[in-house]
Amino acid sequence: MTTDATQPTPYVPAHTETPRMPDRPRHVLPPNACDGHCHVFGPYDRFPLQHPSSYAAPDAPAARHRRMLDTLGAQRGVLIQPAPYGTDPSALLDALAQGQGRLRGVAAADPGVSDAQLAALYEGGVRALRFVEARDPAGRLFPGSVGFDQLPVLAPRLKAHGLHAQLWAPCDVYLRHLPGLARLGIALVIDHLGSLVPSRGPDDAVFQLLRGLLADGGIWMKLTVCRVGKAPDYADARYLHDAFTQANPDQVLWGSDWPFVRMGDKAPAADALVDMAWEWLGDDALRHKVWVDNPERLYGF
C-alpha cells in the first residue's frame, strides 16, 4: 500500500515449486496452538508478484497453508508478507479472509500509506508491518522490502492503529539499528532468532544485545530455528533457543517458516520442527505460553 506513482509491473513466475508438506507430528499441540511464521503465494493468476522473486516461487496458496496447519494440529497461524509482493497486500488479505478468524497477518507498507489503508489492514486481520534491512552486494534493499529507516516515520501511526513492527535483517545490522528502534514505544518482533550465527557463541555482541532487550521486555523473538541452525537436528542453535525462552518466556513465539523459501531440497519437515520444539521447550506450561498464550496476546486472537 503506497502512494508512489511508479508502480511495479505484476509478475507471474514461469515456474513454481510445490512446498514440502508435513506429516502429523508425534506430539499433539495444545488447543489453539499457533504457527507464528508462514507465507502464502498465489494463485498467481489472481495474485501476481509485484517484483521478480530472487528465489523459486512456491505454489503455496491459502488453502494449502490451511491444510499444512491442520496437519500440524495448529488451529491458528500468522502469515507474513513475502518481499516479492512488495506493498500489495491482496494475497495476504484474501488468505486472512479465508481463514475466518484463525489467522492474523503481517503486511508491508511505506510512509505513503494512508490512515484509511492502515485501518483497512487492521480490519482485515493484519496486526503488524514488516521491515527488512537486507541488502544486495551493491547496497540495495531486496526488491519489495521496506527498510528500517522507514519505521521511525511510521511508528506513531502504527501505534495509533494498534499495529506493531516485525524486523528481519542480518544479525550485525541489529547492533546499529535496534537500540534506537527499541525506544519508539511499539512492540518489535525479531524474526528468525535474530539471524544469529550459532558458531559465534554466547559472547557474541548481537546475541547479548538481543537477549538483554528481550529480558527487559523491549522485543519479542521468533523461534524459527531452521533459519539459523544446521539441519537435521539444529543442535548448534539449541543454546540460542533456550537462552531466549529463559530470558523472557512471555515474549517468545514459535514459527515453522513454511513454505521454506530459499531452502529447496533442504527444507525441513514442519512436523519434525514441532516435535523438536516440544522436546526443547520441556514442559507443558512453557509450551502453552509459546504456542498459545503469547501469540494470542500479541496478535489478538
Helix, strand, coil % over all residues of the chain, rounded to 5: 40, 15, 45
Catalytic center residues: 257
Boundaries of every domain in the chain: 31-299
Nearest alpha carbon to residue 190 among 227, 162, 234:
227
CATH classification code of 31-299? 3.20.20.140
Please list, in sequence order, all residues whose beta carbon lies within 8 angstroms of the beta carbon of residue 298, skipping any fewer than 6 positions away: 127, 164, 187, 189, 220, 253
Residue 237, all three cell numbers = 542453535
On the 0-12 / 13-18 / 19+ scale of CB atoms within 10 A, 296 is: middle
Q: pLDDT by residue for the chain (301 residues), tens digit each?
A: 544 445 677 878 877 889 999 999 999 999 999 999 999 999 999 999 998 887 888 999 999 999 999 999 999 999 999 999 999 999 999 999 999 999 999 999 999 999 999 999 999 999 999 999 988 778 888 888 999 999 999 999 999 999 999 999 999 999 999 999 999 999 999 999 999 999 999 999 999 999 999 999 999 999 999 999 999 999 999 999 999 999 999 999 999 999 999 898 889 999 999 999 999 999 999 999 999 999 999 999 9
